[in-house]
Amino acid sequence: MLSMEWKQRAKSRSWTLRPARAGDLDAVRELLTTCELPLGGLDDQFGEHYVVAEKDNTIIGVAGVESHGTDGLLRSVAVAPVLRGSGIARELVDDRIAWAKSHGLESIYLLTMTAESYFTRHGFVVAERGSAPTAIRRSHEFSELCQSATFMRLSGDSFAADDPEAIRRHVREYYGRAATEASSGKAACCGGSCGNETAITTNLYEAHELDGIPEDALRASLGCGNPTLLAELREGETVLDLGSGGGIDVLLSARRVGPRGKAYGIDMTDAMLDLARENQRKAGVPNVEFLKGEIEHMPLPDASVDVIISNCVINLSADKPRVIEEAFRVLKPGGRFAVSDVVVRRDIPAEVRRNAELWAGCIAGALEEWTYRGLLREAGFEDVEVVPTRIYSAEDAGVAGSDLDGAFMSAFIRARKPS
């Protein structure tokens, strides 16, 4: 049965969720066929293992979990094409995950041809196909989908917002994978979905800025703004990029400060540093240096840089006050703090804050606007500004189906160290 929470949420919608009934099978078959999803094995467990979304007595969505001992296989997640993006799929998936857990299933798996980035928002992570339990490998779904289908498992990774080591470890692993994907020609992911086609990461740079920038640097770009432009960098300045990733903002900064200037990048992920140094070599930019380190402990001396930039990275830190204190330390008197970051505009549910994938996706760890201002002032900065650049829907932020439309924005955060 659906929980009271789901029933209450459905009252405000033009569609409802309910357990599947035997008489729904033909309509579900038709929907799955429309969505080009496999039908094999559907008859075997159809019924209580499935939930449907219904609108005007028409089935518009479905999802099911096959039981294989203590393992479950999430399958047949489909929504009528005209209603995609309305949050129906998210509620279908969340309902089936809750159902599986309440029925004693210890592990949940799935296979997908096209929706890997979507399922990461629900806490699924990519797994080796060979690691699938025997019962899952014997399922129709596993045998019907081709070898190129992505195999995923529901990660148990969630953490308290005050567990810095768990956060640091997860972020390092996540962005290590992103670097590998970028090097292999696949766009990395941030926020709601993958690559440069999201509301968070798209159209951040002017076309002329990208002339001579290696494709791998662009593919690894996971930012939410263009701090190199907004910081108004000047000839001869020394710039430091916090969490430099594949190096795109460091390379752009090096151009702006010219041969008499210097651009540093700090990153804690070996794979990203390797990628950034290779991108520097390809771009032929000499006045750049990439340093391994954590932004909470910057490997540079006091008063050594003119400008600190960062592009959607400070939100990833588990110790943001320390990051801002370190930024103040390494800036010269009169130096500028000029970062793009995701910022929260109102209170966020605790379950979002604990979600490991949303933290790595730049959402769960974002500071409230008033907290950001306060931390900068406490560290000693003056002329603090938080200027919105984009406001995100819940779907953009990767929390579709919630009431968090407009709760997150990208912003340009600017401050100055007193002279």
CB half-sphere exposure, 3, CA atoms < 13 A: 12
Q: Are residues 200 and 106 part of one domain?
A: no
Q: How much is the pTM?
A: 0.63
Least confident of 162-176, 218-232, 299-313: 162-176
Averaged confidence pLDDT in the chain: 85
Domain of 407, in residue numbers: 177-416
Nearest in space to 204 (alpha carbons), one of 182, 223, 231: 223
Asked if residue 76 lies in contact with residue 40, where contact means CB atoms within 8 angstroms, the answer is no
Q: Are residues 219 and 253 part of one domain?
A: yes
Nearest in space to 223 (alpha carbons), one of 197, 202, 254: 202
Check which CATH number belongs to the domain holding 62 and give it: 3.40.630.30
* Residues 103-118: tens digit of each pLDDT: 888 788 999 888 887 7
Q: Are residues 250 and 182 part of one domain?
A: yes
Q: Are residues 93 and 53 part of one domain?
A: yes
Tell me the pLDDT band of 13, cut-offs 50, 70 and 90. low
255 occurs within a structural domain: yes
pLDDT, greater one: 382 or 12 = 382
Q: Are residues 223 and 138 part of one domain?
A: no
Q: What is the pLDDT of residue 354?
A: 75
Tell me the pLDDT band of 338, cut-offs 50, 70 and 90. very high
Q: Are residues 124 and 14 part of one domain?
A: yes
48 pLDDT more than 80: yes
Q: Are residues 136 and 96 part of one domain?
A: yes
Q: Are residues 199 and 73 part of one domain?
A: no
274 occurs within a structural domain: yes
159 occurs within a structural domain: no
Nearest in space to 272 (alpha carbons), one of 204, 222, 207: 222
| Tokens encoding 303 | 């008063």
Q: What is the pLDDT of residue 11?
A: 39
pLDDT, greater one: 288 or 112 = 288
Q: What is the pLDDT of residue 145?
A: 64
Asked if residue 364 lies in contact with residue 352, where contact means CB atoms within 8 angstroms, the answer is yes
Give how many domains the chain has, as a whole number: 2
Tell me the pLDDT band of 401, cut-offs 50, 70 and 90. low
122 pLDDT more than 80: no
Report CA dihedral (349, 354, 359, 361) to the nearest 10 degrees.
-70
* Residues 187-219: tens digit of each pLDDT: 554 544 343 345 566 667 777 777 888 888 878
9 occurs within a structural domain: yes
User: What's the rounded mean pLDDT across residues 304-328?
Assistant: 96
Sign of the CA dihedral running 93, 177, 411, 162: positive
